[in-house]
Structure 1
């Protein structure tokens, strides 16, 4: 526990009147000058560091053609695509979005085994198909479920899955901008459109001097353009190198992504202020910073006001934040009054 400073000298102001025998009666004592006061409070004191950021949907990625043919349908910019839905259509057959991390890299058919089979079967199950065991083996039962799925899609019921007719993403996606058009002839690898995640996030770039703030999972406050503040949490931290211009050296930046439990609505591409917590002090005594007095002996004190009496108590200061300061001093407690400068 922090060693406390000794209590300061007691100061008091007294006004007295005396009535002398045989002398005229003196005037009544003057009322003591009123002192503006503030309460000593016990609270959690938080020091924040603010940085400018922006709202959006995070980094974009590119959807490319999976097979050769003619584009017969593309999604609209701003639309969202979920598991089991068409990303686009080539030769009037859909390329279907599924969820997973492993790209589709081969045709799946009876006898195939591996992690890609397990990933695909999990998607079939999530889409409501049954009658097979979800494992890493593509069996005749899997092929039967695939034929049922293909019938729903309106494509030939082969029981096999061409890797050019499915594509994987981690979750649902949002179409950001089209880079191709309906009727275009494409080859595998042709860029068709860019996509982002569907959840609104805030992003901010920090320099290396502020890297201590970029802690994944840390809580932050995000102030919106209407001055409303919402809670967020750091969900991603990446480091990028920004190329210097002219004679300027390259600089390293830390990109921080903030997610929301309740994302703000209708504020795409808006500027925001992100408040990072640098220091947090739980259950401490605080007073307004203006209540501190510089002591002749050195250090600080506060003027404790008790009715018409006042006394100076030496204090040790801790965290300064939001116009308040953490203090410790002999005999100080929540609810006591301290003098404030006029």
Structure 2
């Protein structure tokens, strides 16, 4: 749902509550309402035909969006070595740190964990964040004798030679960028982009992979980016109707290729906001394959506030809003200040307003 649609819906909700503007001003005049919140005088007469109760509650302004149940964003592993592709893991299988993501010339290209890509050869004298990232992985794989920091020393090279010996590689003490692939965590192989026996060259796609946890992915228009805040709580309605709690784990801006038109020409690329939601109870997703799911984002929330139906608001002649409170066989108008609008109700505060009061809802 775009921001423009939401603003239009909010205007419509407010208009519904204020459509009797002229009549409301007449009501205020009839009861002799003054400038203050306590200026109303009781009005004799029968009970109003339609009423509602002033309720204390948590009011949440929420927006729904369509999501897709799956394994999250798909990434592509591309070759950085020239040779022959000699082995690929099975689709759907899991590859963990230190294991082969694929083999070139029967030598392993190893998966490690980290956010930086392998972009240069690491050797004694190298310094930087990529060195620290690699050394953390080397230590996690059980190799010792060096300090995990941002300096690649001779001690690091010695540990690398031991690692290379374990892999059956040439013991050079240097780490070539084509020999490792970084991912945030263990990966699930989604598809093969090449076949065993194919010749590889730098830049060639070898396979695609995803995370291993079931998640819900939502694509939002850029105008709705305000909905997506990392670590924010959301509600997910599954295909079987169950509602489960979720948390926004990642928010990324992605550029999608434009769709092909009837004339064969490709349209302009589109920028989208890709939101990944992790459910609180992953077991709730057991047995559910890729399918649609509804995600409700909470834009804003007000806890423990007084609310009335939007339609109960009256426009006051001197400006602002009021509500007509019913007290036995009489009624009076109280000035109120409005807050959050959501789900047909509005947050209200006023000097004499209290939970449980009855207010008129014009029809």
Short-chain TM bin: 0.7 to 0.9
Write the deviation string for residues 211-263 of structure 1: whole angstroms up to 9, x where unpaired.
44345554433333224142322631416476475799858543141332625
* Stretch moving more, 177-186 or 233-242: 233-242
Partner of 1:80: 94
Separation (CA, whole Å) in 2 of partners of 1:138 and 1:211: 41
The within-5 A match list for 1:240-279 is 240=255, 243=258, 245=261, 250=268, 253-260=271-278, 262=280, 263=282, 265-266=285-286, 267-279=288-300
Partner of 1:134: 148
Residues 310 and 211 of structure 1, relative CA distance in 2, 3 Å threshold: same
The within-5 A match list for 1:308-323 is 309-316=329-336, 317-323=338-344
Say which of 221, 234, 251 aligns to 1:236. 251
Partner of 2:127: 114
Residues 302 and 227 of structure 1, relative CA distance in 2, 3 Å threshold: farther
Separation (CA, whole Å) in 2 of partners of 1:138 and 1:54: 43
* Stretch moving more, 179-188 or 216-225: 216-225
Residue 68 (structure 1) aligned with residue 82 (structure 2): yes
The within-5 A match list for 1:1-342 is 5-13=37-45, 39-109=53-123, 111-115=124-128, 116-199=130-213, 200-206=215-221, 208=223, 210-216=224-230, 218-225=232-239, 226-233=241-248, 235-238=250-253, 240=255, 243=258, 245=261, 250=268, 253-260=271-278, 262=280, 263=282, 265-266=285-286, 267-289=288-310, 292=312, 300-305=322-327, 309-316=329-336, 317-338=338-359
1:87 Cα offset (Å): 0.4
1:86 Cα offset (Å): 0.9
- The alignment partner of 1:83 has SS state of coil
Separation (CA, whole Å) in 2 of partners of 1:278 and 1:136: 41
Residues 155 and 46 of structure 1, relative CA distance in 2, 3 Å threshold: same
Residues 154 and 218 of structure 1, relative CA distance in 2, 3 Å threshold: same
- The alignment partner of 2:157 has SS state of helix
Residues 268 and 5 of structure 1, relative CA distance in 2, 3 Å threshold: farther
1:38 Cα offset (Å): 5.3
1:180 Cα offset (Å): 1.5
Cα RMSD of the aligned pairs, angstroms, is: 3.8
Task: Give unpaired runs (5+ residues) of structure 1.
Answer: 15-32
Residues 309 and 126 of structure 1, relative CA distance in 2, 3 Å threshold: same
Given the two structures, how large is their TM-score scaled by the length of structure 1?
Answer: 0.74
Task: Give unpaired runs (5+ residues) of structure 2.
Answer: 1-34
The count of aligned residue pairs is 317
1:83 Cα offset (Å): 1.6
Separation (CA, whole Å) in 1 of partners of 2:315 and 2:152: 82
